[in-house]
Structure 1
Amino acid sequence: MLRVIIVFGLLAVIGGIATWRPDLAEKAYHQAQALIGQGGTQQAAAPQGQQARRPAGPPPVSVTLGRAERRTMPIEVEAVGTVQPIAALQIKSRLDTQVAQVHVAEGASVKEGDLLFTLDDRVLKAQLAQIEAQILRTKAQLEQAVRDRDRAIDLARRNVGTEVARDNAISNVKAVEAQLASDEANRNSIATQLSYTLIRAPVSGRIGSITSKPGAFVRSADVAAMTTINQIDPIYIAFAVPQTTFFEMRAMVQDDPTRIQVEARAGSRTATGSIAFVENQVDLTTGTVTAKALMQNGSEQLWPGAFVPVKVTLGSQQDAVVVPVMALQVGQNGPYVFTVKDGRAAVAQVKVSRTMGDVAVISEGLSGGEQVITSGQLRIANGVAVTERAAGTAEAPAARDPQS
């Protein structure tokens, strides 16, 4: 570039000299031509030397490598489950009356049979006393009817009384006995209604919000519940099982349900249990089957309605081929990995059975022992030369063209 500037400067000077010294201008012109020829020769020679130093092919791509291994792997199904109470009972009044007392606090843990509410029972107690008095009167009438019947039978046997009187006396006894039975049935009905004024916990669990406070009027036709009790120990976790795994799991459930271990993690704790229920059909939209696990929940780490990760262990697979998950790539023909042999990359189509954490179980495509590329795949193609770099180091930049 400097030589070109000098040449153009000389030409400008020549133009000025030519006006008063033509002989000097011609001499300067010939010197400028010599400089131009010398620069062109050097510029033409430079690319030829650089081309001689250019390497024959692209440099190897720097990648990190892993290895396909054979090991014993557990057969596990991972899913997201929903915690469901075994029983969610709505507590409602069976009478039209007032709430007299509330014996529990909202959110309290209750045991089966604990008293929750007391309803106003004064009207029912009065009705019960009334029917008790009616029963006493009917019993007295029955005693008198029995005496009249016996007397009429004796008189008829001695031909003193008539048969009509005897039959009337017998019928009267039966009528009074029927009245007594009706009175006793009414008493039992009122006693049963009176028992509804004491509302007790039907199951052990945890109580929810209490909507009916003391003094509130409740009806048997009310839609809203006075409160709700969720049975949470033990508790269910519902989750979806892929159809491909369902048949194996179902066979194990039929043989021995305790063989299938279910783990659910909630916070820092892990709850364990076993399969308790499998749905009777496959969901056509998702291709999964709903299953429920019965989990022990004494510490109440599982809460109804929560979403928790679930891991179901069905058994173990011996001599399984595994590769790091980072080695898996997805193409038009499905998943594949890059293997390395003699310093060059090669594409291997694989079939993934399942993934577990940071490894993938390969059912087809690898036999174990192959080196696989775990990072740097974006610059790799089939047959590209590669070089290994230490894991955790930065990827080497691509080689620059000397002409750029």
Structure 2
Amino acid sequence: MFASLLGGCGADQQPAAKAAKASEASVPVVVVNAQRKTVPLSVEGIGAVEAIASVAVKSRIDGQIVKVAFADGDELKPGQVLFEIDRRPALAQLRQAEAKLASEMALLAKARTQDARYQDLLRQRFISADGYQQYKTNLDSALANAAAARATVDSARLQLDYCTIRAPITGRAGRIMIQQGNLVKANDGNPLVLINQLQPIFVNFSVPEQYLAQVRGAGAGLVKVVASDADGKAVEASGTLAFVDNAVDPASGTVKLRASVANRDLGLWPGQFVHAQLALGERADALVVPADAVQTGPKGSYVFVVDAERKAQLRYLVVERTVGAEALIAEGLAAGETVVVDGQSRLLPGSPVAIRDAAGKS
């Protein structure tokens, strides 16, 4: 009896051992079902931020800076005073020009009086037409001299106005390149300060030429801009497509685009590198799987599909494009099939699998 009991125990343990062995041979994986849904279509590119307007402020006259009315990095408004140049030389020129104008106006008044008198004598035939012509010429000359003097006054007033340098646009000031007390020259090669307009702002990026027709069809499409801050976190902004270049770059096979972004929170800065994503519309009834499920091998893209017997089967497929974290499948997969998204590295065709959730529970 003892022997038979031992034999019975061994018979009972054999299936359990086989089941345990089979369980140990199974590869734990996380799966999802391929599904059809409407997905947004977009194209991405690496881009750079550019100020929508950038002005290098220069002096239009020679002189000494007597006042700097702003600080490095200030937000500026159009017409705001930036620099004051010594006004005394320009003011002296204006007074001289005004005195010359007064003199010419006096001569003009005299010439008009003489012209009126000799016109009357000409009508009474006390002088000849040739005799009157001299006074008519004097009047014309006085009129021309007065006009020239008036233009000199206007020029002097303009020079005086140039002594005050104002901000031409709304924007943020850069570093002040010249300080109070220094001499400046008209149209010097070095600017006094550089002003960049930051709101709105441009984002320039490029996309492959095969998307050109879709890009043109998108019109003023929505553009999502993603930058990274110092902590590596994503800084997102959105804008609209403002410009499509009129030619494809033959060297890179790309077309240049430009987006206009409101940049209300000043999250984007000129010269900053960003990722830009242009919305091209939607694809209805697209077959999608997580992009992490798709692997690349010598024969192209593939996934592991779990069949009814819970065995992994290798399936080659054609990926149309990747949209965010999802891959759009053009061929090789059907809706509802179970696809492995985690654990593929330990699978071989025909490997038994143990399905678990993302938290690791079977």
Q: Does 1:79 align with 2:45?
A: yes
Structure 2: 5+ residue runs without aligned partners?
Answer: 1-17
Aligned partners of 2:26 and 2:128: how far apart in 1?
128
Could you tell which deviates more after superposition, 228-237 or 321-330? 321-330
Q: 1:174 aligns with which of 109, 119, 140?
A: 140
Give me the whole-angstrom Cα distance separating, in 1, the residues matched to 2:76 and 2:346.
Answer: 64
Superposition map of 1:384-395 within 5 A:
384-391=350-357
Mapped to 1, the partners of 2:324 and 2:354 lie a distance apart of: 25
1: CA distance between counterparts of 2:201 and 2:129? 73
Corresponding residue for 2:275?
A: 309
Are the structure 2 counterparts of residues 80 and 161 from structure 1 closer, same or farther at C-alpha, using a change threshold of 3 Å?
same
Pick the structure with greater CA Rg: 1
* Alignment partners' CA distance in 2, 1:251 and 1:76: 12
Tell me if the contact between 2:84 and 2:164 (Cα under 8 Å) persists in the aligned partners: yes
Instruction: Give the structure-2-normalised TM-score.
Output: 0.84
Structural mapping, 1:285-296, within 5 Å:
285-296=251-262
What's 2:27 paired with?
A: 62
How much has 1:200 moved relative to structure 2? Answer: 0.9
String of CA shifts for 1:50-94, please: whole Å, max 9, x gaps: xxx9xxx9x955151333222221213333332211101100111
Partner of 1:347 in structure 2?
Answer: 314
Query: Which residue does 2:3 correspond to in 1?
Result: none
Q: Does 1:187 align with 2:153?
A: yes
- Residues 84-123 of structure 1: pairs in structure 2 closer than 5 A: 84-123=50-89
Deviation by residue 1:109-132 (Cα, 9 ceiling, x = unmatched): 011111111112211111111111
Aligned counterpart in structure 1 of residue 331 of structure 2, from 364, 389, 397: 364
Distance of aligned partners of 1:61 and 1:244 in 2 relative to their CA distance in 1, 3 Å threshold: farther
User: What secondary structure, in the 3-state scheme, does the structure 2 residue paired with 1:304 have?
Assistant: coil
Report which of the two has the higher share of helix: 1
- What TM-score, normalized to structure 1? 0.75
Match of 2:223 in 1: 262
Contact 2:47 2:276 in 1 (8 A): yes
Structure 1 residues 252-293: Cα deviation after superposition (integer angstroms, max 9, x where no partner): 20xxx2xx2223345565322211111112222333222121
Q: Which amino acid aligns with 1:371?
A: T
User: Pick from 106, 111, 128: which aligns with 1:140?
Assistant: 106
Using the alignment, how far apart are the partners of 1:373 and 1:265 within structure 2?
30
Q: Is the 8 A contact 2:312 2:353 kept in 1?
A: no
Which is bigger in relative contact order (C-alpha 8 A, separation at least 6)? 2
Residue deviations 1:292-335, cap 9 Å, x none?
21111222222222223333333222221111222212123321
Contact persistence 1:265–1:271 (CA under 8 A): yes
1:125 aligned partner: 91
Distance 2:81 2:210 in 1: 49
- Alignment length (residue pairs): 332
Moved more, 174-183 or 294-303: 294-303
Work out the CA distance in 2 between the residues paired with 1:147 and 1:393: 106
Tell me the alpha carbon deviations over residues 142-180 of structure 1, each in whole angstroms, 9 at most, x when there is no partner: 111122222223223333224332110111110111111
Q: Which amino acid aligns with 2:316?
A: Q
Amino acid at match of 2:340: I
SS at match of 1:280: strand
Whichever structure has more strand as a proportion of its residues is 2
Summarize the Cα distance change of 1:100–1:393 in structure 2 as closer, same or farther, 3 Å threshold.
Answer: closer
Distance 1:66 1:272 in 2: 32
In the alignment, is the contact (CA less than 8 A) between 2:27 and 2:351 conserved in 1? no
Deviation at 1:96, TM superposition (A): 1.4
Matched, 1:163 2:100: no
Contact 1:61–1:379 (CA under 8 A) maintained in structure 2: no
| Mean Cα deviation higher: 71-80 or 115-124 | 71-80
Distance apart, 1:181 and its partner CA: 1.0
Tell me how far apart the structure 2 counterparts of residues 150 and 326 of structure 1 sit (CA, whole Å). 99
Q: Percent identity?
A: 35
Whether the 8 Å CA contact 1:206–1:229 is kept in 2: the answer is yes
What amino acid is aligned across from residue 262 of structure 1 in structure 2?
V
- The root-mean-square deviation of aligned C-alpha atoms, in Å, is 2.4
1:237 pairs with 2:203: yes
- Aligned residue for 1:324? 290
Per the alignment, do residues 164 and 392 of structure 1 end up closer, same or farther by CA in structure 2, a change over 3 Å counting?
closer
Determine if contact 1:63/1:373 at 8 Å carries over to the other structure: no
> Partners of 1:224 and 1:313 in 2: how far apart?
42
**Structure 1 Cα separation of the partners of residues 65 and 47 of structure 2:** 39
Q: Deviations 1:343-400 (Å, cap 9, x if unpaired)?
A: 4443332222222343212122222222223344445444x33222425689xxxxxx
Distance across 1 between alignment mates of 2:111 and 2:73 = 59
